[in-house]
Chains A and B, each alone.
Chain A
Amino acid sequence: MMFQISDVPRLLPELMLAVLALLVLGSDVLERWADDPAARRERGRAAAQLTGIGLGLIWLVTLVQGGLAFTIAPAGAAGPLDALLSLGRNLQAGGAERGALLGAFATDGITVMARLLLIGAALVVALLAGDHLPDAHPAEFFTLLLLATLGMCVMAAAQELIIAFVALECSSIALYVLAGYSARQPAAAEAGMKYLLFGVVSSAVLLYGMSLAYGVTASIGGADGGPPRVNTSFAAIAEAVRVADVAQRGAVMLAVTLMIAGVAYKLALVPFHSWAPDVYQGASPTVAAFLAAASKTAGVFLLVRVLTAAFPDVAGAAGANGFTGWAALLALLALSTLVLGNLAALPQDVTRRLLAYSSISHAGFLALALLPLGGAAPLRDAASAALLYYLVVALIGSLAAFGALAALQAAGVADRLEDLAGLRQRNPLLAAVLTIAIASMAGLPPLAGFTAKFAVFVGAWEAGAAWLVVIALVTTVIALAYYLRVLRPIWMQPADDRPTVSVAPVTAVTLALAALALIALGVLPGPLWQLAQAAVLAR
């Protein structure tokens, strides 16, 4: 196992992200031609546009290279598009290898899907942020956004403890800074500080779990009865876990528990959620959108990697077949998150805080979707596809909802629920986007949120966790009650003398596209489902 030059294309999206980050940072020097407001605005726009264009390009490269959605036919008759086609062909040839790079970095379908999601989320956030620029240092803002995305992409591909941890820190440190970016606002500073403190502690917990897992490989003999294979790769850990006896399984479970707890903070699972409402409310709304959409998605991918690659043998069950292993842990986390997240959302009066709690409760669904991943092959694959499907839909939904709130804040609308009154008349587009996003989160058919939840329910039910499905369904009723508290002022209260709300064109188009995607994915779930299945099977 050696790293070869021909392996470089397999890392193309990540490399491009790193280059783009440096490019955005470097080009900013050229933009510092004056210090009046117009020049400063121009500087910010330049950084935003460079980031947006670059991310769009990287997303396209990832899509073509991943080869999940389509494969370009081998060379045919020369046509006008042939140059473009052969570029695509070369890209796909470079990304076709699925095995893990150096046994440490997987470039399988899941990685491709993760890249598409995370880079896509960063793209949307960059587009939204163009109309909502930070007060100072715009280039650094976008550089940090890109670095966080880079870290997340690597995190989703990690097959080894050290890469996983370094990637996690790469994204986390960037996010700490982003959360407190508008440091002149006390709420943002508080958000950044809180996020940092919670984040550091959870990283320590995660690291402790990782070191225990590493220790396990050192103290348990190889599968063939030979000496222990001291290694940080997930494969080696899985091998050690497989031969571990009952007493050693205790240490294994401790490692799993600590690692899940460490990542649960990223996902804001109850009881590791208490930072989320304050941070989502205090940070700038675009950063909140990024946290709710991308950061959470990356955390889920990391859990998928760790649990399925390193600990498949202690998966256990959370239903009629017993209550053991990490499935049971996840079931408990899902239970507490669904119940407490939804109940805590009920009394909220601040829109973003309410959506933060709703986002927490959605993490409960993610935990529910992770449950069946320890099962047998056909069920596991269907459940993995359901998880990917849910991730896509949740990502678009969070971006649409938080993006709409960002647009509202940019237009000077305060953030309490009653400030939304009569939005139907003040800005029909934002009203429609917010309504569609929230109705999708509530799981009303025929929107994407319904199909996604449904797929997750079926997966969990098949895995024997029907009891948890029933509880999850009950909590969706609670959720509807607080979602209606957002929708009621929008549709049923008169605008009175509140001013109309104007939205910048780029934001309007981005949000409208996100809302349309939620409708389209709900009405026609087939294509995305096939994509998710292809991603799961491309190993």
Chain B
Amino acid sequence: MNQIGFPLVSLAIALPALGALLVWLTPASQTRVARGFAMLSALGALATAVALVARFDASQAGYQLVDSVAWVAAWGLSYTVSVDGISLWLVVLTTLLTPVSLMASWNAGGAHPRLQQALLLLLAGAMTGVFVAQDMLLFYVFFELTLVPTALLIGIWGGDDRRRAAQTFLVYTFAGSVVMLVGIVGLYQAHGVQTGIYTFDLATVLASLQLGAVQLPLETERMLFAAFLIAFAVKLPLWPFHSWLTTAHTAAPSSGVVDIAGMVIKIGAYGLIRFNVQLFPQAAAWAAPAIGVLAVIGVLYGGWIAFGQRDMKRILAFATVSHLGLIVLGIFALNPQGLSGALLQMISSGITTGALFLIVGMLAARRDSRDVQHFGGIWGQAPFLGSIALVMVLASIGLPGLSGFIGEFTIMLGAWISPVLGWTYVSIAVIGVVLAAAYLLRMFRLVFMGPPREAGAPLRDANTLESLMLGVLLVPTLVIGLYPNALLLMMEPSVQQIAQQIGQTLASR
């Protein structure tokens, strides 16, 4: 059980945590030193993630680069982290967004900079942990660990409503994850009773379930499925559990620091694939149509509400709800197309929506408002911001050649040919995509186009730091759009394996 090669995966978790500690220990007067520590550790984590990609064997489906030590042997609890095709790119996304969020934090200024950077790094470490944990209880620990820094980031630096928003966020998502804990205990207990092996190890539990060593009665399987589903549906959030997300984004600091870090809220979607679909394929197929309906409602509802908003952050928050609906639709297509489309879309929307949140933050800092009506015709003054915003909007909408297109297209394809969903879902969800074009282009038009609405001080274009962070996000948008295979190739075996398992289960039904 104990195998430690070079602990590359653990390093990706530990580096940001170490950075957080160093930043916290730096004296308050040494701003530059603190920034240096923060950025170094974030870049170190990014380099580790790149090394992971390099060492990853794209022809294998299972867990790779495993670090495992017994934690509490008596409970079958272990510290096991590794990557597979599903988690690999999400780790890269997390480590890529961390330096950007740090730069956004420098750019925005604000009180207690050391604490803010330390929290951002802690959040990054915990999120990486979520994506690589292959032990159920360890996953839960990291899952909960992401809550505290996020709540503090919202609660200390947020807008007027920050304290209530932080509390809502914390209680809401904690409630969801507690239900997951019930699921974990239930699964642990069922596995222990039936095989005599009490373990939280995901690979072992998965193997027992697939080989039939553990047979869950239909009702039990569905209840466990529901326990995990509730946790992830709240975390995602799936309509109708979305209210905390829009509150949190609205109350989070205008600069977009937290929003971009929170873009990895994709934890919920990841959990759906890792737990719900992989562990309980039968229940997943049973519940897929119902969840598909919720997802489609989310797509339409998010788009519809976003269309009516004037606060740019609220537009983007509802856009997120809409995007996540599409992602869930892809996951519950339960075929390779749907799953890989969902994964791609998770990464793509994380980058594009994150970039848009940052741009909104920059605009808000310049004009002290996020209301679209206080802007207008600023392209002439800030052409760089405008062009990046245009690219990100188009990528979000799904223009071919940019990152959003491939994901959306494969999700639609997957859902269409899926035996459990079908063309009706797709044909309704597609309205949401049209809506996305409408509300995002509307926002872009109102802000950047037309005659300048407010005379007065001209609006500054992006400074070097801002250009740098947007540039960092622009690269993957183009790369994914032009050559998605770079990502898809590595996901392929893992996705195929999951889909194959589901196929077998469904066929044997």
Contacts and interface: CB of A to CB of B under 8 A. Distances in A.
A444 B155 CA distance: 18
Contacts of A461: 185-186, 189
A445 B146 CA distance: 10
A458 B188 contact: yes
A469 B182 contact: yes
A526 B78 CA distance: 11
B74 A492 contact: no
B144 A469 contact: no
Contacts of B167: 481, 484, 488
Interface stretch (B170-178, B297-305, B429-437): B170-178
A461 B182 CA distance: 10
A492 B144 contact: no
Given A458-B185, A466-B186, A476 B178 contact: yes
Nearest to A533: B74
26 contacts: A439-B148, A444-B144, A444-B147, A445-B140, A450-B144, A451-B72, A454-B181, A454-B185, A455-B75, A457-B181, A458-B189, A461-B185, A461-B186, A462-B189, A469-B185, A473-B178, A473-B182, A477-B174, A480-B171, A484-B170, A491-B152, A491-B156, A493-B163, A525-B72, A529-B75, A533-B74
A473 B181 contact: yes
B72 A529 contact: yes
Contacts of A474: 178
A-B residue pairs, 3 tightest by C-beta = A445-B141, A492-B155, A477-B175
A470 B181 CA distance: 10
A446 interface: yes
Interface string B62-75: 00000000011111
A445 B171 contact: no
B145 interface: yes
A445 B178 CA distance: 11
B174 A446 contact: no
A248 interface: no
A219 interface: no
Given A488-B167, A526-B73, A533-B74, A477 B162 contact: no
Interface in B71-124: 71-75
A451 B77 CA distance: 11
B34 to A, nearest CB: 17
A480 B174 contact: yes
A166 to B, nearest CB: 38
A500 interface: no
Contacts of B179: 473
Nearest to B162: A492
A530 interface: yes
A88 to B, nearest CB: 27
A526 B73 CA distance: 7
Interface string A460-471: 011000100110
A526 B186 contact: no
A460 B158 CA distance: 41
Nearest to A439: B148
Contacts of A492: 152, 155-156, 162-163, 166
A526 B74 contact: yes
Contacts of B162: 492
A477 B189 contact: no
Interface in A489-539: 491-493, 524-526, 529-530, 533
Nearest to B184: A454
Contact of A484 (B144, B145, B171): B171
Interface string A112-146: 00000000000000000000000000000000000
Contacts of B188: 458
Given A476-B178, A477-B175, 15 more contacts: A444-B144, A445-B144, A450-B144, A458-B75, A458-B185, A458-B188, A461-B189, A469-B182, A469-B185, A470-B182, A477-B171, A492-B162, A525-B72, A526-B72, A533-B74
A454 B175 CA distance: 16
A474 B182 CA distance: 10
B185 A457 contact: yes
A90 to B, nearest CB: 32
A477 B178 CA distance: 8
A461 B190 CA distance: 11
Contacts of A439: 148
Given A444-B148, A480-B174, A526-B71, A491 B155 contact: yes
A492 B157 CA distance: 9
Contacts of A470: 182
Contacts of A450: 141, 144
Nearest to B188: A458
Interface in A410-467: 439, 444-446, 450-451, 454-455, 457-458, 461-462, 466
Contacts of B189: 458, 461-462
Find the residue from B72, B162, B189 having the highest chain A CB count within 10 A: B72
A462 B190 CA distance: 10
Nearest to A492: B155
Contacts of B185: 454, 457-458, 461, 469
A455 B74 CA distance: 11
Contacts of B75: 455, 458, 529
A488 B155 contact: yes
A378 to B, nearest CB: 11
A481 B186 CA distance: 25
Find the residue from A445, A466, A480 having the highest chain B CB count within 10 A: A445
Contacts of B156: 491-492
B312 to A, nearest CB: 25
A328 B425 CA distance: 49
Given A445-B145, A458-B185, A481 B171 contact: yes
A181 to B, nearest CB: 38
A525 to B, nearest CB: 5
A529 B70 CA distance: 14
Contacts of A493: 163
Contacts of A476: 178
Contact of A488 (B145, B163, B175): B163
A172 B321 CA distance: 58
A496 to B, nearest CB: 14
A372 to B, nearest CB: 13
Nearest to B175: A477
Contacts of A469: 182, 185
Nearest to B156: A492
Contacts of B141: 445-446, 450
Contacts of A484: 167, 170-171
Interface string B118-160: 0000000000000000000100110011011000100110000
Contacts of A454: 137, 181, 185
Interface string B168-206: 001100110011011001101100000000000000000
Contacts of B140: 445
A461 B192 CA distance: 12
Nearest to B70: A526
A481 B173 CA distance: 12
Contacts of B174: 477, 480
A526 B185 CA distance: 19
B170 A480 contact: yes
A476 B179 CA distance: 11
A457 B75 CA distance: 13
B242 to A, nearest CB: 19
A451 B171 CA distance: 20
Contacts of B73: 526
A450 B138 CA distance: 12
Contact of A446 (B145, B147, B163, B178): B145
A214 B95 CA distance: 69
Nearest to A527: B72
A451 B75 CA distance: 11
Contacts of B71: 524-526
A524 B72 CA distance: 8
Nearest to A457: B185
Nearest to A476: B178
Nearest to B111: A494
B170 A529 contact: no
A491 B188 CA distance: 36
